[in-house]
Homo-oligomer: A and B are copies of this chain.
C-alpha cells in the first residue's frame, strides 16, 4: 500500500503473563482480520491518535478489548520496526510486558476477538508477524528481572506468603529444559527480609493442614 511509504503503521503489542499450575503463561489471541487471519498472535492494537494519550494507553485498550481486563503492571520494553516485519508495509510496534495475577483473570473474554488462549511461554506454537521474537525477548527480560524479587509482586494477590512468592519466582525461572530452578529457602528469605519492597501484615496468617504462614504485602510506596 502506497500510504505505508509515507506513514508507517504504528501499534502497541502486549506480552501479558500470568502464573499457571507449573508454567509461566502468556496470553495469545487468534487474529480475526487479515492479514494472517486465523493465526495466533500477541494481543495488540493499532494506535488511534484521537483515542490514545500514548502507546501505553493503546496497549491497555487492546487488553480491554480482547480480554476485558485492567492490568496492574504494564511497561514498554522494546520497539520492533522496519519495512519487512508486517506484510502491510513499514511498521512500528512497541512491545509491552504486562503482569496479571491469576486471581484477577476475568471469567469471560473480551469482545472483538475470536478466541484467546493461555500458552506456556516455551511452547507457544507458530505466531504471526515477528511475535515469536517479541515473546522471546519479553520472556528473557522478565527472567532477568526476577532477580530483584519485586516484579513478581504483581503476579500475586494483595496478601501472600513468602513461600508463595518463592514459588512464583521459581515458576518464572523454570524453562522447558531446566526443570529444577529451585531457589534456596534460606537465601530467598534472607534476601526478602532486607527488601524495602515488602512488609509483614501483622497478625495475619495463611492456615492449612500445617503450621500457619505469615502473610506479607507490597510496601506502601512500592513502585519499581
Q: Does A7 contact B (CB under 8 A)?
A: yes
CA distance A4 to B7 in the complex (A): 10
* Chain A positions near chain B (C-beta within 8 angstroms): 4-8, 10, 47, 49-50, 53-55, 76, 78-79, 81-83, 89-90, 92, 94
| Bound: A94/B81 CA distance, A | 10
Q: Quick check: B49 and A8 within 8 Å, CB to CB?
A: yes
Task: From the candidates B5, B49, B92, name the one contacting A10 in the complex (CB within 8 A).
Answer: B92
Which B residues lie within 8 Å of A79 (CB)? Answer: 55, 76, 79, 94
- Of the candidates B5, B49, B78, which one forms a contact with A49 in the assembled complex, judged by CB atoms under 8 Å apart? B5
Q: How many of these chains are in the complex?
A: 2
18 intermolecular pairs with C-beta atoms under 8 Å apart: A4-B49, A5-B50, A6-B49, A7-B49, A8-B47, A8-B49, A10-B10, A10-B92, A49-B83, A49-B90, A53-B83, A54-B81, A54-B83, A55-B81, A55-B82, A79-B79, A79-B94, A92-B92
Contact A55 B7 (CB under 8 A): no
Give Cα distance in the complex from A90 to B81, angstroms: 18
Give the distance to chain B from A222, nearest Cβ to Cβ, in Å.
Answer: 20
In the complex, the answer to whether B81 meets A78 with C-beta atoms within 8 Å is no
A55 to B93, CA, bound (A): 12
Q: How far, in whole Å, are A222 and B79 apart by their CA atoms in the complex? A: 24
Q: Looking across the interface, which residue of chain B has its beta carbon closest to that of A80? A: B54
Chain B residues with Cβ under 8 A from A90's Cβ? 47, 49
Q: How far is the CA of A47 from the CA of B90 in the complex (A)?
A: 10
Cβ of A65 to closest chain B Cβ, rounded Å = 20
For the complex with contacts A6-B49, A54-B83, A76-B79, 5 further pairs of A-B residues with Cβ separation under 8 Å are A54-B81, A54-B82, A55-B81, A92-B92, A92-B94
Q: How far is the CA of A115 from the CA of B79 in the complex (A)?
A: 30
Q: Which residues of B contact A5 (CB under 8 A)?
A: 49-50
Residues in chain B near residue A92, CB distance under 8 A: 10, 55, 92, 94
Q: How far is the CB of A183 from chain B (nearest CB, A)?
A: 23
Q: How far is the CB of A54 from chain B (nearest CB, A)?
A: 4
